[in-house]
Amino acid sequence: MTKGISKATVCHICKKPFEAGVEKVRDHCHLTGKFRGVAHNRCNLTYKNPKIFPVIFHNLSGYDSHLFIKQLGKIKGDIDYIADNEEKYISFSKKSAC
């Protein structure tokens, strides 16, 4: 066990203190690989990543956003959008079918 893990007193996920004999683990983000904190082994195993993954484009209406819409339309799920015209979209979001 590393120094940081042994010094931790509270699980960063459930915010409850560590009890004697309970395994502590290093929790990390599976998207970025960044260390999030020390957690109970059970909390770490049951932790779920959010189902929303925001992607932000600055000045999207000035680009060929219809190309994004065309490709997203090939994937199962609904698309919500605000169109400026047939080829320019001000905003859009994709809802996954799963």
If asked whether residues 34 and 9 sit together in one domain, one would say yes
In a domain, 85, yes or no: yes
User: Do 75 and 94 touch, CB atoms closer than 8 A?
Assistant: yes
In a domain, 65, yes or no: yes
Range of the domain at 10: 3-46
Residues 8, 54: Cα–Cα separation, whole Å? 32
pLDDT tens, position by position, 9-53: 999 999 999 998 888 999 998 778 889 999 999 999 998 876 777
Q: Which two tokens stand for residue 50?
A: 């959010």
In a domain, 64, yes or no: yes
pLDDT at 63: 66
The total number of structural domains that make up the chain: 2
Model-level pTM greater than 0.75? no
Q: Which two tokens stand for residue 53?
A: 């993954």
User: Do 28 and 35 touch, CB atoms closer than 8 A?
Assistant: yes
Distances (CA, A) of 8 to 19, 24, 39, 40: 11, 9, 9, 11
In a domain, 14, yes or no: yes
Residues 17, 39: Cα–Cα separation, whole Å? 10
